[in-house]
Chain A
């Protein structure tokens, strides 16, 4: 398993760049990963989604799917694509320090 230095922290990531230990995550890391993913600045709306994913992901042990986020956090799917373009569930899971969502099996 690879490690990566981000925002001054050493974190564990898998080969797709998802963090493997959600406990290593903090908000500074989120800001840096977001930049890598092409989101230069995280707005309040971004944080609303990230906070939900953190809460949901840590309690369930897995990253929420897009449908879970839109249903449970009350965010429109269209807005998710604006906030986290190109694969919003995957992108927000990565920024939130969670694994890849299990929607696709």
Chain B
């Protein structure tokens, strides 16, 4: 039996397990997937929790429900990957798993402790959820401001705490700050800001709230045309952008954030998108870059160093967005390619960095962007040229409903590795440049 080992049962790992289970002969292959806990989170849904649009039960399901019965699922933190010996050591029982092929899909997570003052050490017990962080963070304590006047919404705990806080918040200056790029779902902070504008309108208190978007980027988004469109929308919504703001520290007593070039922004409520880093096991295994992401070929996901190691999803160090749609297109390209490769054929350079993201903009509307390594997000219609129903880079109700329907698609179609009638590679059909 040949052994395919997948590390991480998040979006990319779960889709890969399902797809490979279908494509590989079960008489010849044993597929094993490892994760440190049992719970799968629908992470795109965290965005809606602070505004009371989703509750916890909308975004949580058992991982096992989405894994085929023929795939072995092991729950354990991972101690270390030993690619020179084709094996992985688990924390649980110090067990070793040997593999013929390894897929690393250990994702990315936020690290508020990496920014001084953001999550001060104090007396309150740490609310970090997963066991690997608990191991490392056992002596760490949250500060008095963390989840009181400083929040995140990239964790379930942060999103729920912020929802509770917003129910009674009386207004003031809300500052949304991105610590450093790259981040998971680079449009989420923009969506959060636009939803906040809508939410405070709905609460009849928008006139009592000042919204400031402090970003290390030169504008609202990473790519110039989308940045212009999105920047204009933010301006129309009365959001002030503070560009090229690289945060150095938070002063939670004076309630201000301070940048490396010594700009200061005072806040009443700080919503932070902390530094994102790949899993610690990548650093322990000396397989990552300075942010613990794994270097792989941008078109085939194979490691340049180990010919039987791949990385998919957020764990990979690739110049495309860290997003579920990218993971989905990546798994589409990887799965067929892997079957060829396992048969002794060359990998084909099929992946083009395709990303496709709905951007919720409040008031029942949304935008859609569709791009890849070479083509930035452009205006147009998607997926059918001229017809849509989704409009690119322009607000529409159809886009909002697309985003809302997506949760059903995620749980029922995407995670199970079923194919969507959408091409994995980006198409220029329906897009225009000026």
Q: Which residues of A contact B (CB under 8 A)?
A: 66-68, 71-72, 77-78, 80-81, 85-87, 102-105
Contact = CB atoms under 8 A, between A and B. Distances in A.
B246 A81 contact: yes
Nearest to A80: B260
Interface in B260-319: 260-261, 289-291, 319
Contact of B186 (A68, A72, A86, A105): A105
Nearest to B244: A87
Interface in B186-229: 186, 216-218, 222
A80 B289 CA distance: 20
A40 to B, nearest CB: 18
Given A103-B181, A105-B321, A86 B261 contact: yes
Nearest to B181: A104
B32 interface: no
A87 B246 CA distance: 9
A92 B160 CA distance: 41
A71 B290 contact: yes
B248 interface: yes
Contacts of B320: 105
Contact of B244 (A77, A86, A105): A86
Contacts of A103: 181-182
Nearest to A70: B290
10 closest pairs, A vs B, by CB?
A71-B290, A81-B260, A104-B222, A102-B319, A104-B181, A105-B319, A103-B181, A81-B261, A67-B290, A68-B290
Nearest to B224: A16
Contacts of B319: 102, 105
Question: What secondary structure prevails in chain B residues at the interface with A?
Answer: loop
Contacts of A77: 246, 248, 260
15 contacts: A66-B246, A67-B180, A71-B290, A72-B290, A77-B260, A78-B248, A80-B260, A81-B260, A86-B244, A87-B218, A102-B319, A103-B181, A103-B182, A105-B186, A105-B319
A92 to B, nearest CB: 14
A32 B320 CA distance: 33
A67 B321 contact: no
Contacts of A66: 246
A68 B217 contact: no
Contacts, number: 38
Interface in B163-196: 180-182, 186
A72 B290 CA distance: 8
Contacts of B290: 67-68, 71-72
Given A68-B290, A104-B217, A85 B261 contact: yes
B264 to A, nearest CB: 15
A68 B261 CA distance: 19
Contacts of A85: 261
A36 B248 CA distance: 27
A4 B299 CA distance: 33
Highest count of chain B CB atoms <10 Å: which of A67, A71, A72, A86? A67
Nearest to A62: B319
Contacts of B182: 103-105
A88 B261 CA distance: 10
Contacts of B181: 103-105
B213 to A, nearest CB: 15
B222 A68 contact: no
Contacts of A105: 181-182, 186, 222, 319-321
A67 B291 contact: yes
Nearest to A15: B224
B260 A68 contact: no
Interface in B237-261: 244, 246, 248, 260-261
B119 to A, nearest CB: 19
A91 to B, nearest CB: 11
Nearest to A16: B224
Interface in B123-140: none
Nearest to B221: A104
Contacts of A71: 290
Contacts of B260: 77-78, 80-81
A103 B321 CA distance: 10
B304 to A, nearest CB: 11
B221 to A, nearest CB: 9
Nearest to A67: B290
Interface in B48-102: none
A23 B356 CA distance: 36
B35 to A, nearest CB: 26
Contacts of B218: 87
A23 B114 CA distance: 37
A86 B260 CA distance: 9
